[in-house]
Amino acid sequence: MRTRPRASVALGLTLALAPLLTASLVLPGHTAPEPRRGVGREVDSNAAAVAVAWQRIAVRTVYTEGALAPPVGSLYLSFTSLAVHDAAGEALQRGHTSETAAVATAAHDVLWEYFKSPASRANLDADLAASLATVPDGPAEAKGVRLGRAAAARMIASRVGDGRDNASIVYSKPEAIGIWQPVPGGAMAAAWLGFVRPVVLDSTVPVDGPDALGSAAYAADYNEVRRLGSTASAERTQAQKDIALFFANNPVSMYRSALCTYLDAHPLGLLATTRLFARIDAAQSDTFIRTWRLKYDLGYWRPFQAIARAADDGNPATAPQPGWTPLVANPAYSDYPSGHGSATAAFAEVVRLTLGESTPLLLKAGLLERPYANLSALEHDALHARIWGGLHFRDGMEDTYVLGHETAHRVMTLID
């Protein structure tokens, strides 16, 4: 149903609400204490830069060495960022503690627990040694290491039995019009993800579901992606094609790398830095979890399946197009909502509410670069990229942005 606001309207609401989201509650189990009272600056001036460096290390460990899919990898980034934020807050509160040692050890220990290859662990050990080498030896360093280890241990213990990698969860829906099916012999990728215990949310964000196949809204979305999303589209411009192919890269790592570069030039204090990444990662992970459950439960078909069987969808305003293939290869899960949109909307909303709408980010994918002067422009291109690439209907993309934005708002109130 097209009862929700379009993405542009949702973005306007987001900006209007931003000043209202300044007060935060503390997430139970992930307490981030206030910095020491009466201290005008953080003692360890290097700690914020080290926290950013460990975000880059986490991306390398999770996505380059671990080769995880973006939604699954997002879980481990959130575990890392929450432990780091916990360690940073406690180190600042207690005093006489190396904040650098605390955040580096927390990040190291979480990643070391989950990524067990000899190469990853050797790299993590070397990274930790490099971080600690910047800290004077002594009680402050030792105390920071202890605090970091304790924060990591709490996080790891809190996620035992959370539903990850449950191979018994298998997507299986009878073949029918409007229902997504994996390729013969295939399966839904990471079907278990929708059943994982959320990282911070304690309730689900509602969405109104896909458009009915017989509706005018569905026909409009169908014909848009049919015209613009195929490998042979004569209506899609070269600029649209370039955007579609650019955003076919891992959005989680692409956005995070751009943010790290921004923070290199516009550094924040330690707690502001760790809070920002904890909120981004929790919002992305919990949006992914909700998205995957909806993909599993609804199983709404992808455009390439819809276009092949349009003669049977009961909508007189749609027509099949033999031989239609999407510009970008479709992943092994259903259309609604969008995984890519989950990463984009959650990230952009947290950054918008924290740093402002006009936060400039330079996205990089291999040798390609795309600069964005504001977050709405980034979201616009990322949303349309999935239509121009033939992967999603507009309805699924716009609903995902509503889902990601609302999840970000809720996370902002839960992580202080």
Task: Calculate the CA 85 to chain-centre distance.
Answer: 18
- Spatial separation of the C-alpha atoms in residues 306 and 177, rounded to whole Å: 8
pLDDT at 95: 85
CB burial readout 161-182, b (16+ within 10 A) else e: eeebeeeebebeeeeeebebbe
> Strand 368-372 vs strand 361-365: parallel, antiparallel, or unpaired?
antiparallel
Tokens of 355: 């740093």
- pLDDT beyond 50 at 115: yes
List, for residues 123-157, the tens digit of each pLDDT value.
Answer: 999 999 999 999 999 999 999 999 999 999 999 99
The structure's pTM equals 0.90
Q: What is the mean pLDDT of residues 336-363?
A: 98
3-state SS record for 34-58: CCCCCCCCCCCCCHHHHHHHHHHHH
* CA R_g for the chain: 22
- pLDDT beyond 80 at 376: yes
Peptide bond into 316 cis (omega under 30): no
- pLDDT beyond 90 at 20: no
pLDDT at 233: 98
- pLDDT beyond 50 at 349: yes
Cβ neighbours of residue 1 under 8 Å, at least 6 residues apart?
A: 208, 209, 211, 212, 215, 217
Torsions phi, psi for 262 (to 5 deg): -60, -45
Tell me which CATH code domain 214-414 carries.
Answer: 1.10.606.20
Identify the DSSP state of 179: B
List, for residues 228-255, the tens digit of each pLDDT value.
Answer: 999 999 999 999 999 999 999 999 999 9
Q: What is the mean pLDDT of residues 276-288?
A: 98
- Spatial separation of the C-alpha atoms in residues 260 and 55, rounded to whole Å: 8
pLDDT at 45: 74
Three-state secondary-structure class, residue 230? strand
Query: How many alpha carbons lie under 13 Å from residue 223 in its C-beta half-sphere?
Result: 10
Helix (H) or strand (E) holding 362: strand 361-365
Tell me the torsion sign for CA atoms 102, 61, 384, 336: negative
Instruction: Indicate the pLDDT class of residue 16, thresholds 50, 70 and 90.
Output: very low
Tokens of 96: 């006489």
Amino acid letter, residue 125:
D
List, for residues 309-340, the tens digit of each pLDDT value.
Answer: 999 999 999 999 999 999 999 999 999 999 99
pLDDT at 9: 32
Determine what percent of the chain is predicted with pLDDT higher than 70: 89
pLDDT at 14: 39
- pLDDT beyond 90 at 32: no
Instruction: Indicate the pLDDT class of residue 5, thresholds 50, 70 and 90.
Output: very low
Nearest to 158 by CA among 105, 86, 100: 86
Tokens of 409: 């708002």
Owner of token pair 């309805």: 395
pLDDT at 13: 35
List, for residues 60-101, the tens digit of each pLDDT value.
Answer: 999 999 999 999 999 999 999 999 999 999 999 998 999 999
Do 229 and 391 touch, CB atoms closer than 8 A? yes
Average pLDDT of the chain is: 91
* Domain extent listing, the chain: 31-158, 214-414
- Spatial separation of the C-alpha atoms in residues 142 and 121, rounded to whole Å: 21
Owner of token pair 């290199």: 264
Tell me which CATH code domain 31-158 carries.
Answer: 1.20.144.10
- Spatial separation of the C-alpha atoms in residues 292 and 214, rounded to whole Å: 25
- Spatial separation of the C-alpha atoms in residues 150 and 156, rounded to whole Å: 10
Nearest to 350 by CA among 254, 284, 264, 262: 284
Do 314 and 282 touch, CB atoms closer than 8 A? no
Torsions phi, psi for 103 (to 5 deg): -70, -40
Cβ neighbours of residue 205 under 8 Å, at least 6 residues apart?
A: 290, 403, 406, 407, 410
Nearest to 254 by CA among 382, 352, 353, 127: 382
